[in-house]
Amino acid sequence: MQVIILGSGSPLPDPQRAGPATLVRTSAGDLLFDCGRGVLMRAAAVGSGAGAFRALFLTHLHSDHITDLNDIYTMRWAMSFQPNPLPLFGPPGTATLLKATEAMLEPDIGYRLAHHGDLQWRPSAEVSEVERGVIFDEGTVRITVGPTDHAPVRPTVGYRIDDGKKSVVIAGDTVPCAGLDELCRGADVLVHTVVRRDLIEQFGLPRLTDVLDYHSSVPNAAQTAARNGVGLLLLTHLVPTPAPGTEQEWLDQARVHFDGTVVLATDLLTLGVGDSTP
């Protein structure tokens, strides 16, 4: 079981960090969590892609987490040689999002059907809107979803992936909450989006300081990991982007509250679940 950070960035474009996306490699295949900008470029770098995803899971419908849904939907269709529906899981509203995405792509769908004689079916997805409970159970892999708190974005969810005795939790954007605690208990790895409150407050701009009330700070994420006996905390969706040479500051803030291993995400960072270091 592996965790691969395909995108460690945030809504702010960064040449070194693609949008939020995490690939979890399991015995059931490649599972993609969120699909921010550049996800298929990063997936190609690790030998995966739209046609290879066993399923796509959305934590919420904020634009930075779903930017490249259209790219996955199109490429899975256009590069498959038989119908290959995309299994898509997400909170309520996901079906409406997919319908709107397909409407936006309608001209392109028409162009490709008209041009490629062997492409005789439309793109499709199998959409499951989820909020709580076991949603995937295949072989040794079980995925559980639970509610998180990113209000006023509602609903939002996190996911726990268990593959045999190994486990990974994808928190998504959230403040500390009971739903996330339930998912995290005893997990090997917690992939958690974080912001630096101390840096954002220095900017003093309402558009930036507004994010503080619905994201976890680095200490918040560390406290969640400690409270639930997590083995390794992987910090991602880093706001603001760490300036070169300041990475240790992020780790130090977490280690005040969490005695386990802390890792700061970079794009294409690969972590074997159960390993102490990437």
* Torsion angle in degrees (nearest 10) through CA of 221, 67, 45, 174: 10
Q: What's the mean per-residue pLDDT of the chain?
A: 96
Average pLDDT over residues 224-238: 98
Domains parsed from the chain with CATH numbers: 2-272 (3.60.15.10)
d(CA 7, CA 24) in angstroms, rounded, equals 13
Structure confidence at residue 207 as a pLDDT band (50, 70, 90): confident
pLDDT tens track for 120-143: 999 999 999 999 999 999 999 999
Report the pLDDT value the prediction gives residue 5, as an integer from 0 to 100.
98
Percent above pLDDT 90 for the chain: 95
Report the pLDDT value the prediction gives residue 191, as an integer from 0 to 100.
98
User: Which sign does the torsion angle of CA 197, 172, 12, 266 carry?
Assistant: positive
> Which comes out higher in pLDDT, residue 205 or 221?
221
State the residue for tokens 């936006």: 104
pLDDT tens track for 260-275: 999 999 999 999 998 6
30 is catalytic: no
| Catalytic residue (choose from 64, 68, 162, 267) | 64
Cα atoms in the Cβ-side hemisphere of radius 13 Å centred on 50: 24
Average pLDDT over residues 16-23: 98
d(CA 236, CA 118) in angstroms, rounded, equals 41
Residue 158 burial by CB count (10 A; 0-12/13-18/19+): exposed, middle or buried? Answer: buried
Interacting residues of 31 by C-beta distance below 8 A, sequence separation 6+: 23, 24, 25, 53, 54, 55, 57, 143, 161
Cα atoms in the Cβ-side hemisphere of radius 13 Å centred on 139: 8
